[in-house]
């Protein structure tokens, strides 16, 4: 059996592949954005002193880290409409189901990253902001969050890359993302290597682009790499 360059090339440049890749990418972006939006207040709660809220957040992390993504996707798409009638309406499509399932799941992972990053910001930073008479909101906004974001960047991009690949699981709920498109093409022609390679290239390009963006952001905010001896304060 030979590798048919023609088939590979036409798959690579096909509208179906491009559309599949765009669905993969957009699902990842909005799921991760939603996950971050959910996980940020949850991280604050977990680091905070409200015991009821902390228990609830801990329970959330426990459950959604334990549930396999595949099970969660199938549950949201197939089982949720049985309990909640709104999800039986025609607007509830595989994309929305995947968005919901992956956001809930990803938030449980992202919350640990946020929590660790917030904790990694030295206590003296908050104390200095408070001592200057800034409000707690301003201390978080101008002092703690920017430093925590810099710490969280690398693991967050890691999560994004993992999530990008996890979206391929949404093929089980018939979402037309990149892997679904690939499998349909393979099933039709049995030309495995041509279609797999085309998909692989899309994933590589997406991930490499992302890593380049990460490097650029890290360089932009490289304030801590400019250290000199004596730049780190002593114990309090």
Partner 1 sequence: MSGAPIIRLEGVCKNYGDFTALDNVSLSVFQGEKIVICGPSGSGKSTLIRCINALEHHDAGTITFDGQQLYAPGVSLTHIRRHVGMVFQSFNLFPHLSVLENCILAPKRTQGISDAVARDRARGYLDRVHILDQADKYPGQLSGGQQQRVAIARALCMEPKAMLFDEPTSALDPEMIGEVLEVMTDLAETGMTMICVTHEMGFAKRVADRVAFMDRGAIVESAPPQDFFANPQTDRAAAFLQKLIHP
Site residues for partner 1 per CB under 8 A: 122, 124-125, 127-135, 138, 142-143, 146-147, 150, 221, 223-231, 233-236
Nearer to partner 1, 51 or 236 (CB): 236
**Which one, of 163, 170, 149, lies nearest residue 224 by Cα?**
149
Nearer to partner 1, 4 or 122 (CB): 122
Nearer to partner 1, 203 or 221 (CB): 221
CB of 121 to partner 1, least distance (A): 10
CB of 91 to partner 1, least distance (A): 43
Q: Using alpha carbons, list the distances in angstroms from residue 187 to 111, 172, 233.
A: 39, 15, 62
Q: Which residues contact 70 (CB under 8 A, 6 or more apart)?
A: 169, 172
Three-class DSSP category at 48: coil
**Which one, of 198, 180, 23, 191, lies nearest residue 96 by Cα?**
23
CB of 116 to partner 1, least distance (A): 18
Nearer to partner 1, 48 or 124 (CB): 124
* Count of other CB atoms within 10 angstroms of residue 187: 9
* Interatomic CA distance for residues 113 and 105, integer angstroms: 14
CA 95, 100, 104, 110 torsion-angle sign = positive
Nearer to partner 1, 85 or 229 (CB): 229
CB of 131 to partner 1, least distance (A): 4
CB of 141 to partner 1, least distance (A): 9
């Amino acid at each position: 059996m030979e590798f048919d360059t023609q088939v590979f090339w036409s798959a690579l440049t096909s509208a179906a592949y491009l559309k599949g890749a765009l669905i993969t990418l957009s699902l990842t972006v909005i799921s991760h954005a939603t996950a971050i939006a959910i996980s940020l207040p949850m991280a604050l709660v977990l680091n905070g002193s409200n015991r009821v809220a902390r228990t609830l957040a801990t329970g959330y992390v426990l459950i959604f880290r334990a549930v396999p993504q595949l099970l969660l996707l199938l549950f949201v798409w197939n089982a949720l409409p049985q309990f909640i009638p709104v999800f039986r309406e025609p607007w509830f499509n595989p994309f929305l189901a995947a968005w919901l399932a992956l956001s809930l799941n990803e938030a449980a992972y992202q919350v640990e990253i946020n929590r660790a990053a917030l904790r990694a910001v030295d206590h003296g930073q908050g104390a200095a902001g408070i001592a200057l008479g800034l409000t707690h909101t301003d201390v978080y906004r101008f002092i703690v969050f920017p430093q925590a974001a810099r710490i969280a960047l690398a693991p967050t991009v890691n999560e994004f890359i993992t999530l990008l690949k996890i979206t391929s699981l949404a093929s089980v709920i018939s979402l037309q993302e990149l892997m679904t498109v690939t499998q349909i093409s393979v099933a039709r022609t049995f030309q495995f290597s041509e279609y797999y390679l085309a998909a692989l290239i899309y994933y590589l390009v997406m991930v490499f682009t992302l890593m380049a963006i990460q490097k650029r952001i890290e360089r932009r905010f490289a304030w801590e790499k400019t250290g000199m001896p004596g730049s780190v304060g002593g114990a309090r």
